[in-house]
Amino acid sequence: MRYTFMDLPGAKPGANNANAMLHALRRPIRTVLLWQLLVTAALGAAAAMLSGTSAALSAAAGGGVSIIAGLAAAFVASLSDAKSAGRVLAGALRAEAVKLGLALVLLWLVLANYEQAEVAVLLGAFVVTMLIFSMAFFVREY
C-alpha cells in the first residue's frame, strides 16, 4: 500500500509543514485562549469579591498555568510531521504529554512558592480553563 500526502488547505506546495500546521491551528487556538483569558479574569474578579486578594491571585495562577500549558501544546503540535495518520497521532500525543507535564510542574511551582494560595480556587480555575482548552476542537476555521 502506498501513502499519499496532500499539503494542508492553504499551504503552498513544498512549504514547511510545521508552518502549515500552525496556520491551521491559529484561529481555534486564538479563540480558545481568549475564552480562557476571559474566564480567568471573571473567576479572579469573583474570587476577589468573595474571598479577597489571595483568592483572586490563586484563580489567576490556576488560569495562567492552563493558558501557558495550552500554548506549549499548540506549539508542539505545530511542529509535528503530518505526513501520515500515525505521525499526526504521535504529534497530538506528544503535545498532550507536554501540556500535562508542564501543567503539573507549573502547579507544583505555584503551590510550593505561593504560601497564601487557596488551593480550591487555584485548582477550580485550572480545571475550568483546561476544559475550555478542549473546546478548540469545536471552533471552526472560517
DSSP 1: -
Specify the pLDDT at position 5.
44
The H-assigned helical ranges of 10-52 are: 17-51
How confident is the chain (142 residues) per 10-residue block, as mean pLDDT? 45 51 65 91 96 95 95 87 82 91 97 94 96 78 60
Specify the pLDDT at position 51.
93
Specify the pLDDT at position 65.
97
* Alpha carbons within 13 A on the beta-carbon side of 138: 6
Q: What does the CA dihedral 54, 57, 63, 69 come to, rounded to 10 degrees? A: -110
Dihedral sign computed on CA atoms, order 113, 117, 121, 125: negative
Specify the pLDDT at position 23.
55
Specify the pLDDT at position 32.
86
The grid coordinates listed for 117 are 494560595
> Which helix (DSSP H) or strand (DSSP E) does residue 131 occupy?
helix 119-133
Secondary structure of residue 5 in the 3-state scheme: coil
Specify the pLDDT at position 4.
42
Q: Which pTM does this prediction carry? A: 0.77
Domain ranges of the chain: 17-137
Specify the pLDDT at position 28.
78
